[in-house]
Structure formats: C-alpha cells, structure tokens
Amino acid sequence: MTTLPLTPDYDAWPIEADLESVSVTPRLVTVQWSDGRVSRYHSIWLRENAADDTTVNPATRERILDLSMLPAWPEVEGAEIDAAGALCVDFAMEDRRLRFHPGWLRAHDYDNLHDADAPLVPVTTWQGGPEAGPDTLSAAGLLDTSPNSEAEEAILAPALASVLAKGLVRLRDLPTEPGSLESIARRIGPVRPTNFGQLFDVQAKPDPDSNAYTSIALPPHTDLPTREYHPGLQMLHCLENGVEGGQAVMLDGFAVAEALRERHPEAWATLTRVRWCYANTAKTTDYVWFEPMIRLDARGELLEVRIADFLRGPLQTTFEDVEPAYEALMTLQRLLRDPVFAIRFTYRPGDLVIFDNRRLLHARDAFEGSTGHRWLQGCYMERDEIRSRYRMIQRARRRRWVTAEA
C-alpha cells in the first residue's frame, strides 16, 4: 500500500522518524527508527491498539475489541515495513494482518518512557507583590472569529496556556453586554450550572444568599468547596466598575501549599490528611462535603486546595486531631496574609479573568456601594474543558503541519 493507515483516534501524528527495520518474537515486535531509536511493543498492546474495524468502530474511533474474546493470546507470526512506511504485523491465531501508523507508534512509544500523564503545559507556581499582575492578553474580536478557526486559536491558545501553567489569565477588550460571558465561555467548552445559575451576577444586592453578593471584603478562598467535585475553572467578566475599593486579590494556592510544606512540614502533613467539613446551608439548598484542605494526586503532585473559611462547617474528626488541625489551619491562615503571595488589580469593563478554582485563591477588598456600580458576571467550567480545548488546538495545528508536509 502507498497510503498510511488510520490511527485509532482522530488526531494527526507527524512522522518524526521513519521505520527502518523490524524483528519479532511471538510476543514482541522490535523496531529501529531512522534516528537510531529502538522501540519494543508487546504483541497484546499492538493488537488492542490497532485501527481496523475489528478493533475500533470507524465511526467513533472507540474500541469494540474485547481481548478476552480472542481465541488465544495474540502472538505475532511476522512483521514488515510496507511501501508507505507503516508497520505491518501478522497475528498468527487470527490469521490477520494489521497496519500501524509510524507517527502514532512513535508518539506512544512506552519503551522509551515519557511522562504520559504529564501536564499539557508545565505547571509554574508564582508569587505576587506590589508590581506583579496576571498574564494579560487582548481578546478583541474573539466573538467575531469563526469557531475553531486559526483566528480564534490565535487568541485562545496563549490564554489557555497561561491558565494551564499559572492557573490564571486576564483577557481584555471584550464586550460588556450582559450575558456575553456565556458566548465567550462556550468558545472553550460547556458551562457548569450550579445553584447560583448558569451565569451569576456578582454585585451587592438586597437579601443576598452569598457574601460575594455584598460589598464586604472577602478573604482568600476557592468557590464551592462544599461540592464533591468543586468546579475546576471560574470566569469573572467585568461589565461595570465605578466603585471605590473592591480590588481583586489572587494568590497561587499551590505556591502557598509548597511554602507550607517547606516551612511547616507538620502543618502540611495535617492539612493533607485531616478531612474538614465544608458546608453551605443556605435558605434553599444544603451542600456538605468532607475533604482535606490540600490534596495530592497519585504521583504526589498538588491536585487541589479547598480553602474557604466562611464555608467551613464544624470540624468533625478524631478527638486527638482537633487541636493539631486548628494549629495547622492557623499556620496556613498566617501564610495567606503574607503579601508576598498576593497580586492585586482593579477590574475594568471588558476584562475577563479565567482561573483554576481548584488551585487559585481569590479575594476582594470591601467597596463603597454608594460611589457607583460594580457588576461582574461569572460562570463555572471544568478543568477537563480547558484541557480538551487546548488539545484540540494542538491537534488542528498538527493536522495543518501534516497537510503542509504531504
């Protein structure tokens, strides 16, 4: 064949090096690449990751193969590199030849192990200070671009990269019409509705159901820690701001957590272990969840922080843990007041701040409501959506590169 086979996904995989030679044993295929790399693939791994219509549904690229339904362990009878440069593998028990795209094989070379679940963009912790501010980009014309166009990508790609790396970006020059936030957000992905609505208005109002809907100062916090899975992203879009005060304050919760680990290891250990009660017992809803304030992932890397003093319910833990837990909490609270961690800025109409709600802590100075109006609209989204959108942008760029090379 003179054309390369499909891959078991919808992505485009540039060919970084050509396949030069192949050797086999019944359960192993070994290939050498034109740049000298040697890669080994288990026969069962190759069988499960083929792209033919016995393995994946060609309409969805989702797997339909059930390995346990094969007549025996999939063993290799032979292999070769065809005229198109694809790897062709003959599976003995099925009497089946399957072809593999060299770019896809190279990208998924587990024998030369790379960190497969590493962040899409390296995480960069940061501190604040008087001169510090968020990464700021112009998003003028975003809603005038065609969805999934290069023009849209040119605006979104650096913005998403900043959120993935630093947990925060500020976009400027956006419309100030009420409700336009939803159209902007959907350029990234679906909005997550909550008991506060699809969009929520952050402004002082009578009979508030949250401290955010008053003019008082708010301490550093993450939103909705009362949920089993609190929202991964938050967007705040400034429509009006003519008040005195009301500066936004933001801190990198990961930087604060790392400082806690380095300076106060006992407090760190306590706050990664003790499960606090988070409760929002409002007039019409009653959300309660228990979780440590600092959570790590399976690799021991920081996954999330849950910090919101005004949404903590009564601590329910072992008798022996009560005093150590409060000592650790107060140690953390003192760190949060250290100005070295905070950036401060004033919203101006047309600004949109996007931040990782499971990493960033946001706060607000009090403002004088009689001096003007302060109106932000907000919404929530999941981390998954920003990662998916960023991958789609990278995929489109690879596809254009592959097309240009063809």
Residue 175's pLDDT is 96
Give the mean pLDDT of 272-294: 94
Q: What are the distances in angstroms from CA 135 to CA 139, 311, 396?
A: 13, 29, 25
pLDDT tens-digit profile of 116-171?
A: 778 889 999 999 988 899 999 999 999 999 999 999 999 999 999 999 999 999 99
265: pLDDT confidence band, cut at 50, 70 and 90? very high
Query: Where in the chain are all domains bearing CATH 3.30.2020.30?
Result: 19-116
Residue 234 has pLDDT above 60, yes or no: yes
Q: Please give the Cα distance from 358 to 387 (Å, whole number).
A: 14
Query: Where in the chain are all domains bearing CATH 3.60.130.10?
Result: 136-392
Residue 369 has pLDDT above 70, yes or no: no
Residues 222, 357 contacting (CB under 8 angstroms): yes
Task: Please give the CATH number for the structural domain made up of 19-116.
Answer: 3.30.2020.30
Residue 370 has pLDDT above 70, yes or no: no
**Domain spanning 136-392, CATH architecture:** 4-Layer Sandwich (3.60)
How confident is the prediction for the chain on average, in pLDDT? 93
- pTM, whole model, 2 decimals? 0.90
Place of tokens 């033919």: 52
Residues 63, 41 contacting (CB under 8 angstroms): no
Share of the chain above pLDDT 70, in %: 98
Give the mean pLDDT of 216-234: 94
DSSP states of 258-282 as a string?
A: HHHHHH-HHHHHHHTTSPEEEEEE-
Q: Tokens standing for 136?
A: 């700021």
Q: Which residue has the higher pLDDT, 282 or 342?
A: 342
Residue type, 302: L
